Amino acid sequence: MKEHKITGLSCGHCALKLQEQIQQLPGGEDTKVQFNSSKILLNEEVDMEAVRSILSTEKVRFEADGKPKGPNWLMIFLYVSVASFIAALASEWYTELPALPIVFYGIATILSGYPTFIKGLRNLTKLKFDINTLMTVALIGAVSIGEWREAALVAILFGINELLESYGMEKARRSMETLLEVAPKEAVLLKDGKPEIISLEALKVDDVVLVKTGQKIPSDGVVVSGKSSVNEAAITGESLPVEKESGEPVFGGSINNEGVLHVKVTKTYNQSALSKILALVQEAQESKTPTELLINRFANYYTPAIMIISALVMLVPPLFLDGAWSEWFYQGLAVLIVGCPCALILSSPIAILSGITVNARNGILIKGGAYLEQLSKIEVMVFDKTGTLTLGEPHVVADSSFHPDFYKVAFAIEKSSSHPLAKAVIKRCKELGVAEIEVDEIKTVSGQGITAAIDGVTYRLGNEKIIGETDADEESAKIIKQYKQEGNTIVLVAKDREILGIFAIADEIRKESTNIIRDLHKNGINKTVMLTGDHPLVAEKVAKKTGVSAFFGGLLPEDKVKKVKELKAKQKVAMIGDGINDAPALATADLGIAMGKGTDSAIETADIVLMQDHLGKLPDAVEVSRKVNTVIKWNIGLSLGLKLFALLLTIPGWLTLWIAILSDMGATILVTLISLTVLLHNRNK
């Protein structure tokens, strides 16, 4: 399947109709016409000229064919139509020639309504009923009973209405296209030390590229030389630059702010995080939400129902209630126009597209409109602890020194170790400015810690087993007990059997976690739950500091799945984890949310991916989803409400053709404008 960009596609029903027609062509069975992104997917075997011919019936063309030369005739015809309508009104007032106003009204009707006539007449011959068919029947009927003014006004208003529909959808599309333009266009390859500009497709793993100030990094890689700050907003949504130097990983699509970087490519562009993100965002545009699918099914029955109601309005009063045929025929034509489903069909896609776009700008990758809608309904958020609410990096939360040599001995023993607990001790010693001393001999004792010889003296570092359970004095034992009750891991330093000091080490809680939990509760999340494999005491400590509603410790992966199932049985549940260890629980929840700074596993595992390495944007994603859901409900209510109001006017016989078209036009304008307010979300913050 090959993707082609198309232009002129302004109607969801039109897209579906074009797709069905192209699918009838040899080799066109798998054709997809994507309304939201204005693209068409075609097999290479299909006859392109036949496809062009079908697209032209709806004034749609391939973007690669170029834009039509000359002025926008549809816009010009609308201007002329308005002028003709005004001239017709003036001729009614200031002349006594009955034919002259009809001529002007006729010009206005034909110029503004000819696209509708052509499509509607073609549909009538095939007994297909859509908005063009309804409008064509209504206009022909109006002219047949001499309502020239009404016919002209309806044709003009319908033309304006279609322009507004097109504008609203194009506005949302352009916003998405602007987002997708972050992809770099080319790379500067260093070949034998000389720069050479190549296409992204030609870039290979292990190539070294040159990235100057202001340029985009072409693909994921590692800095091999140079130092700079890099803007990773395209990937993570974070506006603050990140410092990069030799050995640091970088993302394709991020921008080098200063200096010159030499980057060794670790992934071809098609395999890079940015490429996957953009591909998933584009796919997300076309996925239908349950609400959209319901609206589409409803529209299939809605139009025939309107045809039946129109016929009843035309026939029942004259036949059974002594109504005038001409009056009720006119009312029936107005009902046909009220039956236009455009506003109803537009209720959802513009809002969904806007919501996906806003979240993608924030570094929140939502893999489809269905997941955006699901997020708005979540009642319980379940969090993994390590790496999610905490940094996943041990740090010293407290220490007690009983001897002047405590810190320098600890530093000397741990400085050569890569163990996470050792890193925490080293960091603490560096903060205190501890001087380095040399170790003569070092030995690891499995399950206990390390023994080392410094200046001929034996020192021990590790857990309580390293010194023996009975060797701690009363004061040390009291502090050890206190640290352990607080949920900390203990690291002792001893000179032979004499305790020199104690480190209390714990996983560091993310600074933003408390505020995030609070904001989620404010945004309508009823309950927040933390699940962890750590000791319940550790879980309790983190739960108290972060403010989660409930916590469960000492869980195996299968236990986490069980807990998620229990919660899911009562309420809608989202699970937030790192996308790797929590994969079973993520898959079990109604919605899986992964955080992972653009890692492949995070992108592939969950329904929603937070591209940052923190939860900072999660409340914003919930807020956007709820706004989109509210907008869609308002849109459906307004579009149906205005139509119902117009239909009720048929009871006293007050419905006119221009009121009918204004009810549809008003609904379309409101639906479009309300949906586009989602794009303003970031600007209002």
Interior angle at CA 194, CA 189 and CA 199, nearest 5? 25
In angstroms, rounded to a whole number, what is the distance separating the alpha carbons of residues 558 and 561?
5
What are the residues facing 551 on neighbouring strands? 530
Active site annotation includes 473: no
Q: Are 586 and 609 in contact (CB under 8 A)?
A: no
Residues 6+ away with beta carbon under 8 Å from 627: 355, 678, 681
Residue 301 near residue 254, CB atoms below 8 Å: no
Query: What are the backbone dihedrals phi and psi of residue 530, each rounded to the nearest 5 degrees, phi first?
Result: -110, 130
The residues, any chain, with a CB within 8 Å of residue 319's CB and separated by 6 or more, are none
Fill in the amino acid letter for 350.
Answer: I
Q: Which of 220, 384, 534, 613 is catalytic?
A: 384
CA distance 244 to 252: 14
* 309 touches 335 (CB < 8 A): yes
| CA-wise closest residue to 78 among 112, 110, 107 | 112
223, amino acid identity: V
Nearest to 311 by CA among 327, 328, 298: 328
What secondary structure, in 3-state letters, does 325-359 show? Answer: HHHHHHHHHHHHHHCCCHHHHCCCHHHHHHHHHHH
Distance CA 397, CA 504 (A): 6
- First-to-final CA distance of the chain: 41
Q: How far is CA 400 from the centre of its chain?
A: 49
Tokens of 403: 């001897």
Contact 528, 567 (CB under 8 A): no
Q: Which residues of 524-554 are buried (b: 16+ CB within 10 A; e: fewer)?
A: ebebbbbbbbbeeebbebbbeebebeebbbe
d(Cα 95, Cα 103) in Å, to the nearest integer? 13
- The three state secondary structure string of 444-481 is EECCCEEEEEECCEEEEEECHHHCCCCCCCHHHHHHHH
Q: How far is 526 from 517, CA to CA, in rounded Å?
A: 11
User: Facing residues of 550 across strands?
Assistant: 529
* Phi, psi angle pair for 651, to nearest 5°: -60, -50
Beta bridge partners of 540: none
Chain length of the chain? 685
DSSP one-letter string for 191-212: ETTEEEEEEGGG--TT-EEEE-
The C-alpha angle 586, 179, 279, rounded to 5 degrees, equals 50
Residues involved in catalysis: 384
